[in-house]
Amino acid sequence: MKKFIALLMALGFFAVPVWAAGKPETKSSAVTIEFIQWWEPELPAGSFRAIIDQFEAQNPGIKVKLISGPYSNTRDQIVTGAATGTLGDVVGLDGAWVNDLAKQGAIAPLDSLIASANFDVTQVAAVIKLDGKSYMFPAASFVYPIFINLDHFNAAGIANPPQSRTEFVSAARSLTDASQNRYGWVLPLSLQTPNGVQNDIMSWVWASGKSMLKNGRPDLTNPDVTGALQFVDGMYKEGLISPGTFAKQEQDKVEEFVNGRISMTISSLAHINMIRERNPNLNFTISALPAADGYTGPRGLPYAAWGIGISEKSKYKAEAWKLVSYLMNPEVNSKLASIAHAFPGNVNAKPDFVESDALYAKAFEIFRSGYLANEFTGLPVAEELMRLFDEEIQLMLDGKQTAEQAAANAQKKWEAIF
């Protein structure tokens, strides 16, 4: 018998059974969730990873793999992942993508997760919904003011930032010198990434308290929209806008501002750190978008959000929700908003940049005196709507149609989608 037992032991028959060995391994192994976003590259190096490391320390059973890239690349990856069912567990979202991704079944409604965790949703500054279901929390919001090169303004004898469209055009004329490859303004209207329609065209409408919608439907032929198109068209044809508009994307206007080729640009507060790092000697400030002549009401502030949601295909929704709720809690959200120099997604969060940085203090004043305005958020195929309008605006700038015709043609295309 002893020899028989020894033989069994040698053959491994008394090894720990698979079911027994599996238990402790399951307990000790961590679940890895993927978080795809464009936030990490826009933050100081290592700062976002430090926030995630703190989450992992508090949740030892969860590891987070950050999939990071520029905004446009991330958007392409998310579109591909949604189409192929391979989207990461936690998804960085632009509000303009929510309608499409939700209708594809790519992102999950958050309501059951909110309820099961007894999460106080009233602490969230905004909840992006579709058909009554919650899909996105804005973790941080960035207003888009006018960035101004003060050295250019001083050299041109311009004392104050423009407050009206007439003043803006006048400043652009004084600042433009084509022989020096310097222009007053920049307008990115690439069809590949058509968010210039949102940030650089429609922002002029919202800054004057007006709208591109009526009862939730397209209203592009109203005089406020066509007036904004006429304003932009006039600047383009006068040569006050840097060349290459039809091919430029958002990062291109930041590049031109950093290198002193343009004097004014509409850009995100998220780019302040990037501009300072790229050109520490650049003397610049920010100001609210100029309004239509004669408008004295509160100004709409174009904004973009670092939204966050969860993939419908995720096998780890509970773990993904832990990360979402972690990033939305007041303490962490304050930290995220502070390092991003953004306005927080939690109403109880208090970023420290308002008191520590004069430029951001000015941004906060602009924020408090106006209101957030982005009518593309939640619209069906919002990015496609921008692209369709972009095509008509390009034809207008190319002299092939009037502002009224551009608006009317875009209206027809939008109505077909709605």
**Residue range 195-239, pLDDT digits in tens:** 999 999 999 999 999 999 998 899 999 999 999 999 999 999 999
pLDDT of residue 49: 97
Core vs surface per residue 58-72: b (16+ CB within 10 A) or e: ebeebbbeebbeebb
Within 10 A of 416 (CB to CB), how many other CB atoms are there?
Answer: 9
Residues 256 and 332 placed together within one structural domain of the fold: no
Residues 258 and 330 placed together within one structural domain of the fold: no
**Mean pLDDT, range 232-257, rounded to an integer:** 96
E strands, 362-404, are 371-372
Q: Is residue 37 part of a domain?
A: yes
Q: Is residue 372 part of a domain?
A: no
**Mean pLDDT, range 108-134, rounded to an integer:** 91
Q: Which region holds residue 157: left if phi is over 0, alpha if psi is between -120 and 50, else beta?
A: left
Q: Is residue 164 part of a domain?
A: yes
Residues 175 and 286 placed together within one structural domain of the fold: yes
Residues 384 and 404 placed together within one structural domain of the fold: yes
- In the predicted structure, residue 343 carries a pLDDT above the cut 90: no
pLDDT of residue 18: 37
Residues 93 and 238 placed together within one structural domain of the fold: no
Residues 158 and 294 placed together within one structural domain of the fold: yes
Contacts of 382 (CB under 8 A, 6+ apart): 95, 96, 97, 99, 100, 376
Q: Which residues pair with 142 in a beta bridge?
A: 304
Q: Is residue 368 part of a domain?
A: no
Q: Is residue 245 part of a domain?
A: yes
Residues 86 and 105 placed together within one structural domain of the fold: yes
CATH number for 137: 3.40.190.10
8 A C-beta contact, residue 33 and residue 314: yes
- pTM (2 decimals)? 0.72
More confident residue, 75 or 171: 171
What residue type is 210 in one-letter code? K
Q: Is residue 401 part of a domain?
A: yes
- In the predicted structure, residue 2 carries a pLDDT above the cut 70: no
Which single residue is written with the structure tokens 């949740």?
Answer: 59
Nearest to 191 by CA among 379, 374, 383: 383
pLDDT category, 396, cuts 50, 70, 90? very high
Q: Is residue 166 part of a domain?
A: yes
8 A C-beta contact, residue 269 and residue 337: no
**Most confident stretch, 9-13, 266-270, 289-293, 375-379:** 289-293
**Mean pLDDT, range 178-198, rounded to an integer:** 95
Residues 354 and 227 placed together within one structural domain of the fold: no
8 A C-beta contact, residue 229 and residue 406: yes
More confident residue, 2 or 265: 265
More confident residue, 261 or 340: 261
More confident residue, 369 or 22: 369
Rounded CA separation 323/269 (Å): 25
Q: Where would I find the H helices in 309-372?
A: 317-328, 330-340, 353-356, 358-369
Residues 358 and 396 placed together within one structural domain of the fold: no
Within 10 A of 277 (CB to CB), how many other CB atoms are there?
Answer: 11
Domain residue limits at 223: 146-301+380-417
Residues 115 and 138 placed together within one structural domain of the fold: yes
Rounded CA separation 358/88 (Å): 38
Residues 286 and 176 placed together within one structural domain of the fold: yes
Rounded CA separation 204/156 (Å): 24
pLDDT of residue 272: 86
- In the predicted structure, residue 282 carries a pLDDT above the cut 90: yes
Residues 184 and 259 placed together within one structural domain of the fold: yes
The count of domains in the chain is 2
Contacts of 99 (CB under 8 A, 6+ apart): 130, 378, 379, 380, 381, 382
Rounded CA separation 173/43 (Å): 35
pLDDT category, 356, cuts 50, 70, 90? confident
Q: Which residues pair with 143 in a beta bridge?
A: 303
Q: Is residue 370 part of a domain?
A: no
pLDDT of residue 20: 37
